[in-house]
Amino acid sequence: MKTEVAIIGGGPSGLLLSQLLNKAGVATVVLERATREHVLSRIRAGVLEAGTVAMLREAGVGDRMAREGIPHHGCYLTDDDLMVRINFEELTGTSVMVYGQTEVTTDLYAAQDAMGATIIHDVEDVVIQDADSSAPYVEYTVSGKRKRLDCAYVAGCDGFHGISRKTIPEDKRREFERVYPFGWLGVLSRTRPAHEELIYANSANGFALASMRNENLSRYYVQVPLTDKVEEWSDARFWTTLKSCLPTEVAASMETGPSIEKSIAPLRSFVSEPLRWGRLFLVGDAAHIVPPTGAKGLNLAVSDVHYLYQALIDAVKTGDTKGIDAYSERALLRIWKAMRFSWQMTTMLHRFDGEDSFAAQMRKATLYHLSQSETARRDLAENYIGLPF
């Protein structure tokens, strides 16, 4: 096979890049190791920045989001019973959208199918060859047969454990990482959300997040040790722990019910530089991971796509390489700003093993400062709704 851009990974970043390139007349082939059903079963992020919403509309996949997404004009940060509202619209003039990553992926698949884009699933043993030459190609196995895909460029959208980042020689890349000593136990339940807006809770019992997917589907998280297993957490234990972290008024009125999904996710901050090696470009989780505390994971992947897609169009259609030459530097500037914000939110809201009493008081002081300072709230709001591309 031949194509102009080979895209490794059929998650939202790979599908969005393919959608934007195909709309501009640039041919792509997407290679995905999992089945479509598995990709669509992943429970991931649900808060979309204003820039992400605009990108999805530009890609022609914003109609269902406009009908079913829930605009959020603020969120709450709490310390026990102190609730501090961050009013996005008042502080920044814009808002965010609650619309699950699974829904975004569903919309992108439908749009790709409608335009006849090529997406190959159940791909194994992917190898990116000659990425540092003018004629890269990708080898892979599907249905037991070894295949070759010739291309002009390769976009690595295959996540933290994918092959794309590892294709860049170790002596050509630098990796920065911080692994946090706790995880998030997440539960999905068919219950009314605890509050109409998201609540990021700091408490003596640790961190919790009260989020949602829609008006009848709630997503909740509590901080747990990395040694915990999902099997150790009954629904009853989870609800008791969650309520102990939320403000009393919220906990008393919230609806509980059976979990329909339960999982534990470790937290890490990770960046690999550069994002380009020859004609290979890293996008999304292949290049960076953020803690979910600041709702930046999917949004940061979309910002990578923003910097890359027009650059690839220019390179393919006109031979102008200024955009792809600048891609890594431009994307990394925004990546590190998002890293700082996610790290700040994580530090501000979580209890760390072995910490002293001073750390807990600093968290309380930070939340109290937010409650008193419009300047502090504006800084948080500007980062939460998404810095400009």
Amino acid making up residue 347: T
Taking CA atoms, 278 is separated from 5, 128, 150, in Å, by 14, 12, 15
Considering the candidates 200, 220, 221, 327, report the single residue annotated as catalytic.
Answer: 200
Marked catalytic residue, from 137, 140, 327, 384? 384
- Catalytic, 292? Answer yes
Structure-block tokens of residue 83 = 């609730």
Residues 228 and 185: their CA atoms lie apart, in Å, by 9
Closest listed residue to residue 153, CA positions, set 4, 323, 25, 322 = 4
> What is the β-pairing status of strands 145-150 and 137-142?
antiparallel
**Is 296 an active-site residue?**
yes
CB contact at 8 A, 363 and 373: no
**Tokens at residue 136, please?**
């890269």
288 among known catalytic residues = no
Residue from 296, 306, 307, 327 carrying the catalytic annotation: 296
Of 137, 140, 292, 350, the active-site residue reads 292
Which listed residue (12, 72, 99, 288) is catalytic? 72
Please list the active-site residues: 72, 200, 292, 296, 384
